[in-house]
Amino acid sequence: MSTIKLPASAATERVLALTSQFKNSSIANQTPNQATMSVPYKFHGWMGLDKASVEGKMVWQEFEPKTWTEDDVDIKVTHCGICGSDLHTLRSGWFPTTYPCCVGHEVAGIAVKVGSNVKHLKVGDRCGVGAQSGACLECEECKAGKEQYCQKVVGTYNSKWPDGSMAYGGYSDYCRTNGHFTVKIPDGISNAEAAPMLCGGVTVWNPLVHNGAGPGKKVGIVGLGGLGHFGVIFAKALGAEVTVISRSDAKKEDAMKMGASKLIATGTKGWAKEHARSLDLIVCTISDPNMALDDYFQLLRVSGEFIQVGAPEDKFPGFSAFSLIGKGIKFGGSGIGSPADIQKMLEFVAEKNLHPVIEERPMSEANQAIVDMEAGKARYRYVLVNEKHAKEL
C-alpha cells in the first residue's frame, strides 16, 4: 500500500519512537484465555494531544479507561475503522475536543472481560461497538429502541461517563465500553469488514430501511465516499434501484460495480432539470456547507424524502422553502443507529454475503492513515489492523 512521507520534525521523531514502542509492547502475546478479573493488561492508544494531532501527530501512550462496572465489556481491539468523525474530533472541528483524546468508534475485537450483567456475550466472543457507548436506558427514546437519540448519550470517545471518567476509543489495544452497546459479530463477517459498519455502515443503513428503500423504490446516494459506498451496497441489496449523485463521473465504474444503475454528475450543466422527479428517496452523505440543496430537491418525486447524514463543520446551506412545498417533500436527518439496528444490519450483511470496500492499514501507522484519509485517498474505508491481536483470530 502507498504511503506519504511526512516532513521530518521533532514531533515526527517522537511519533516514530512511539510506533516502535507500540510494536514491541509486552502485551502482544496475551490471549483471550488470559483475561481475568484482575485485568492483566494495560490500556494504550494513539492519543490526540491538541488540534495538530489531525496532521499525523497522535502519540502512543497509556490511558486510564472508564471505571469498571458489571455492565461493561473489555474488548481486545483487532480492528478499528477510520471514520470522518475521527478527523473532525482530532482537530476540534465540530466543537472543542477534550484532550488527550483517543478516537476510533468502529471498534471490533475479542471480548476479554465481560461483566456479570451482560448476558449476550462471553469471554472469547468476537464483538464490537460503534459511535455510542452509553445512554440512560430509561427515557422515552431508549425504551423505544432509539438509544442514539437519548439526551444522555455517551460517545465512544471524547465523552464523559456519568461518574466523570473519560471515554476512549479504538485506536488502541483495548477498549472498555458498556455491554448494552456492544454487539456480537456474526459468523460470516470478518472483524475487518465488520468494523467500518459499526458507525459508517449503520449511518446509511438506518435512513434506508426506515424510509422504505426496497423493491420498486428509486434511491439516490449523494457522494460516493466511505458512507456513500455503504449506501449503494445496502440499497441495492434491499432491492432498490440506485443512482449515485457525484461531482463528476470519475467514480462511475466503481459505482456500477457496487450496484448502482446510474450516476448523475453535478458538474454538468442542467443536471438537476434533466433528472427532475426521478427519485423517491435521497440519502446525502456529504458534508459540504455549499451543497446545492435546491437542485437535489428537484430530483425528488412528489412526496419524496431527503435525509441528511453528513455533518458539516460550518453552517448548513440555505434553500428555498418552495423547493419543499411545491412537491410535498420531507427534509430530515438521521443519526447512527441503536444496538438493535446495528445487529440487524450485521445479520443482513451476513445473510446477503455483502462486502464493504476496505483497505487495511497497520495500527502502528495510524498517523499516516489519517493523513491519507484527510487527503481523500481512502477507497473506500480505511481499517486499522492491530496486528498483534488480529493474528489470534
> What percentage of residues in the chain have a pLDDT greater than 70?
90
Residue 78 falls inside a structural domain: yes
Q: Are residues 156 and 229 in the same domain?
A: no
Going by pLDDT thresholds of 50, 70 and 90, the confidence category of residue 23 is: very low
Residue 83 falls inside a structural domain: yes
- As beta bridge partners, residue 245 has 222, 264
The pLDDT, as a whole number, for residue 8 is: 36
Q: Are residues 256 and 313 in the same domain?
A: yes
Q: CB of 185 within 8 A of CB of 127? A: yes
Average pLDDT over residues 188-195: 98
Phi, psi dihedrals of residue 288, rounded to the nearest 5°? -85, 120
The pLDDT, as a whole number, for residue 373 is: 98
Q: Are residues 80 and 214 in the same domain?
A: no
Q: Kindly tell me if the per-residue pLDDT of 221 is higher than 50.
A: yes
| pLDDT tens digits along 149-158 | 999 999 999 9
DSSP, residue by residue, 304-361: EEEEE----SSPPPP--THHHHTTT-EEEE-----HHHHHHHHHHHHHHT----EEEE
The pLDDT, as a whole number, for residue 196 is: 98
Residue 20 falls inside a structural domain: yes
Q: Kindly tell me if the per-residue pLDDT of 27 is higher than 70.
A: no
Q: Are residues 182 and 57 in the same domain?
A: yes
In what helix (H) or strand (E) does residue 207 lie, and over which residues does it extend?
Answer: helix 200-209
Q: Are residues 304 and 363 in the same domain?
A: no
The C-alpha cell at 311 is 455533518
Residue 340 falls inside a structural domain: no
The pLDDT, as a whole number, for residue 5 is: 33
Q: Are residues 175 and 246 in the same domain?
A: no
Residue 339 falls inside a structural domain: no
Q: Are residues 189 and 215 in the same domain?
A: no
Which CATH number is 296's domain given? 3.40.50.720
Instruction: Give the integer Cα–Cα distance in Å for 177 and 128.
Output: 10
Average pLDDT over residues 260-265: 98
Q: CB of 197 within 8 A of CB of 222? A: no
The pLDDT, as a whole number, for residue 108 is: 98
Q: Are residues 181 and 210 in the same domain?
A: no
Lowest mean pLDDT among 26-40, 277-291, 365-379: 26-40
Q: Kindly tell me if the per-residue pLDDT of 285 is higher than 60.
A: yes
Q: CB of 116 within 8 A of CB of 70? A: yes
| pLDDT tens digits along 349-363 | 999 999 999 999 999
Note down the domain range covering 280.
Answer: 202-333
Peptide bond into 380 cis (omega under 30): yes
Going by pLDDT thresholds of 50, 70 and 90, the confidence category of residue 39 is: confident
The pLDDT, as a whole number, for residue 316 is: 86
Residue 66 falls inside a structural domain: yes
| pLDDT tens digits along 69-83 | 999 999 999 999 999
The pLDDT, as a whole number, for residue 315 is: 86
The C-alpha cell at 241 is 434501484
Taken as a whole, the chain contains a residue count of 393
Residue 283 falls inside a structural domain: yes
Q: Are residues 273 and 195 in the same domain?
A: no
Q: Are residues 154 and 212 in the same domain?
A: no
> What percentage of residues in the chain have a pLDDT greater than 90?
87
Spell out where the chain has E strands.
44-47, 59-62, 72-81, 107-114, 126-129, 132-134, 154-155, 159-160, 166-167, 174-178, 182-184, 218-222, 241-246, 262-265, 279-284, 300-308, 330-333, 358-362, 381-385
Residue 349 falls inside a structural domain: no
| pLDDT tens digits along 82-126 | 999 999 999 999 999 999 999 999 999 999 999 999 999 999 999
Average pLDDT over residues 311-339: 94
Q: Kindly tell me if the per-residue pLDDT of 37 is higher than 60.
A: no
Q: Are residues 73 and 188 in the same domain?
A: yes
Going by pLDDT thresholds of 50, 70 and 90, the confidence category of residue 28 is: very low
Q: CB of 293 within 8 A of CB of 270? A: no
Q: Are residues 165 and 209 in the same domain?
A: no
Domains of the chain: total = 2
| pLDDT tens digits along 297-312 | 999 999 999 999 999 8
